[in-house]
């Protein structure tokens, strides 16, 4: 049995074993992380990049539509839009280092704002997971090397075509003191942009 088939069967067992999205995502992240060191997990074709943007290769869709597996390949400088997801999502880095910027959405007096709460570096063989509604982020390759990651979604990509639910377009920065944010805003990473609030336009995918 090849490495991808073993991973697929193990994920299917995780999905059946755990009922809630957080439990499924946590278990699948552990399963994926244990497979990221398999040298034959992805073929050359499944690691192929594209010049016009990050490339997605669908590797497997469960017969019952409960999950899909895809590889995403990033050339230097490529990134996703800021987005959230249609379902739980697990990400594991197969090659290189992936940068994830996380955001928190606020409704201040009827206007939507995004707060940048931190940047996380995910290195080779690291796995992480997100579950809606706390899943707004942007993923990018800030390095000089190609990055390959494996993404597992709790959705049927042959039906949805994408794991993205909404895309967020940033506008102007909100001046300090305008509106009020939740007291429990908590930084995930560090950086000069952390804590900024930006006006945002939302587009359903």
Q: Supply angle C-alpha 131, 196, 77, rounded to 5.
A: 70
Of residues 7 and 177, more confidently modeled: 7
User: In this structure, are residues 165 and 203 in contact, taking their beta carbons and an 8 Å threshold?
Assistant: no
CATH (domain of 21): 2.60.120.10
- Flag whether 141 is in a domain: yes
Q: Give yes or no for residue 59 having a pLDDT over 60.
A: yes
Report the percent of the chain where pLDDT is more than 70.
83
- Dihedral sign of CA atoms 18, 132, 159, 40 in order: negative
67 found inside a domain? yes
CA distances from residue 179 to 102, 103, 105, 154, 186 in whole angstroms, order as listed? 21, 17, 13, 35, 18
Collapsed DSSP state (helix, strand, coil) of residue 180: coil
Q: What is the pLDDT of residues 152-161, one digit of tens each?
A: 999 998 877 7
110 lies in a domain?
A: no
Tell me how many domains the chain contains: 1
Q: Give the residue-averaged pLDDT of 54-64.
A: 95
First to last CA, the chain: 37
List pLDDT tens digits, range 64-85. 999 999 999 999 999 999 999 9
Q: Model pTM greater than 0.85?
A: no
Tell me which H or E stretch contains 158. Answer: helix 157-160
Does residue 10 belong to any structural domain of this protein? Answer: yes
For the segment 88-137, what is each residue's pLDDT rounded down to a tens digit?
A: 999 999 999 999 999 999 887 778 888 889 999 999 999 999 999 889 99
Can you tell me which residue has the tokens 């336009």? 201
Q: What are phi and psi of 146, to 5 degrees?
A: -65, 140
- On whether residue 18 sits in a domain, the answer given is yes
Identify the band that residue 61 occupies on the pLDDT scale cut at 50, 70 and 90.
very high
For the range 62-66, what are the long-range contacts, defined as Cβ-Cβ under 8 Å and sequence gap of 24 or more?
62/12, 62/15, 62/156, 65/155, 65/156, 65/159, 66/12, 66/15, 66/154, 66/156
Answer yes or no: is 34 within a domain.
yes
Domain annotation covers residue 51: yes
Q: Is residue 203 part of a domain?
A: no
Mean pLDDT of 46-67: 96
Model pLDDT, residue 79: 96
Strands (E) located in the chain: 55-61, 68-74, 82-85, 89-95, 98-108, 111-122, 127-130, 137-140, 147-153, 164-173, 197-204
Q: What domain range includes position 154?
A: 3-104+121-163
């Amino acid at each position: 049995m090849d490495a991808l088939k073993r991973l697929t069967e193990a994920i299917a067992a995780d999905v059946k074993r755990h009922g809630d999205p957080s439990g499924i995502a946590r278990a699948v992240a552990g399963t994926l992380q244990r497979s990221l060191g398999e040298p034959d997990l992805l073929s050359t074709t499944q690691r192929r990049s594209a010049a016009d943007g990050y490339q997605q290769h669908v590797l497997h869709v469960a017969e019952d539509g409960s999950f899909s597996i895809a590889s995403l390949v990033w050339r230097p400088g490529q990134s996703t839009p800021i987005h959230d997801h249609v379902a739980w999502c697990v990400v594991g880095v197969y090659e290189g280092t992936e940068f994830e910027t996380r955001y928190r959405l606020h409704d201040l007096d009827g206007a939507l704002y995004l707060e940048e709460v931190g940047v996380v570096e995910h290195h080779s063989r690291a796995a992480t997971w997100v579950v809606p509604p706390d899943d707004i982020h942007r993923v990018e390759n800030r390095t000089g090397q190609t990055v390959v990651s494996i993404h597992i979604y709790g959705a049927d990509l042959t039906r949805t075509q994408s794991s993205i639910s909404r895309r967020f377009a940033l506008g102007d920065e909100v001046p300090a003191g305008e509106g009020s944010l939740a007291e429990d805003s908590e930084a995930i990473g560090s950086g000069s942009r952390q804590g900024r609030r930006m006006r945002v336009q939302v587009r359903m995918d």
